[in-house]
Structure 1
Amino acid sequence: MFNLQQKTAVITGGGSGIGKAIATLFARQGASVYILELNPDAANAAVTEIKAAGGKATALTANVADQRQVKDALATVAQQAGRIDILVNSAGISHIGRLDNTPEEDFDRVFQVNVKGVYNTMLGAVTHMRQQGSGVILNLASIASSVGLPDRFAYSMSKGAVLTMTLSVAKDYLKDNIRCNCISPARVHTAFVDNFLAKNYPGQEQEMFEKLSKTQPIGRMGTPEEVATLALYLCSDESSFVTGCDYPIDGGFIRLNN
């Protein structure tokens, strides 16, 4: 089950965190993985690890907010691999702030990466997927798409857009045999969390980590590998009857946090 042999997968933001975990697992399951990253060092390091474990991976440098760079990168994938079977949109940035203290430049920056970036990659991938008559798109949304979170105005805006773009694409390309779903994680323990705590709570990192962990009813943060496992299901043939869905992976946050 969950065999990705003979499949080509493009993972944006695959050089770190959840994206890297997805790229690593997909390669382990047999996919030819293309990591599309803004940070070439991170992408190359991830590719080196995947190859050392016996997987197939290639690094491509591109800014997802730049449509020309994205189109060129995906054209390279299609030329080298002959097809694009899977697109996972994991690249994204976070932001802390309410409406009244979110500067316009911060709002625009979050929009460019988290919304326009997903638009750009889906637009480029759908072109190839329609030609080949099949494809799977998986977007990383967030629990912020479904519930109100304090001090997450711009971030929530962007992830709400990801959710609704997912539904729109799933509807519009049913006849092209293209499936589109999204995953909505709660807090996941990545290097981003550690860096955030070190920057904002020096000397209180462990205390704040435990406090943030307990906001999930299950009592801890998720792991990138747990999110990757759900991504594997949604991008494999075993989920061929699933499209237009949002999958919370949140330790009970949405339904049990009351």
Structure 2
Amino acid sequence: MSVLEVDDVSIHFGGIKALQNISLRAGEWEIVGIIGPNGAGKTTLFNCITGFYTPSAGRVRYRGKDITRLPVHRRTALGLGRTFQNVGLVKNATVLDNLLTAQHLQVGYEPVTGILGSPATFAEEKRLRDRAHQILELLQLEYVARERVTDLPYGVLKRVELAAVLATDPDLLLLDEPGSGLGPEEAEGLGDTLLTLRKEFGLTIVMIDHHVPLVTRVSDYVYCLNFGEVLAEGRPDAVRSHPEVVLAYLGDDTESEVPV
């Protein structure tokens, strides 16, 4: 059984067909990449998978369960975690507080118990704090734990957002442009991090990114979207050198592959 199944998903905004009959699969512990030029429909597809949009047609399934019309918070509770193109964090809070907030679904006591300050809550709060520090250490972010998010540079913010999503204890991690704004060395480091996270957390990862070398290096399978449709799919190198993919990116089919 696939972890994620997208079957013939379409969505229209008025007369605009943003997605048309998109089908996609992500298996256990796979990293699946989604590439495509600007306006191809990549983020719209993520919005359909995560519940921000409801498809006009088609189905989204998570581990065989139809979640097409399930609210965002219930998908998160099932194990879907997502980052965004624009970093989705509480800007005036510290990095550590963001990770603690992200773990609210894992809190093992009732609100009244927390308000009263029962001794049982102290052990639970320590457990959540220790877990937050473990995630920060794994992502080499312990040094910014006490820093306010708003004071951090963009490259660090992207890693902090990834840490916050990991704190929700996802089973399926959806990454929207994790490599945006990163230089070549930072993107290389991000790729290594994603491969480590898959192993350490047992994750299935679906990622959108314009950084084609990053996607093709870490992905097991790649989809290329263009004008809301699947233009090509397959193993990374095959998709990268596909004539129609090259044409979509370059507007010229004389090159052998999408450039690095």
TM-score with structure 1 setting the length? 0.33
Indicate the structure with greater strand content.
2
Indicate the structure with greater helix content.
1
| Greater relative contact order, per chain length (Cα 8 Å cut-off, separation 6+) | 2
TM-score with structure 2 setting the length? 0.33
- Work out which of the two has the higher radius of gyration on C-alpha atoms and give 1 or 2: 2
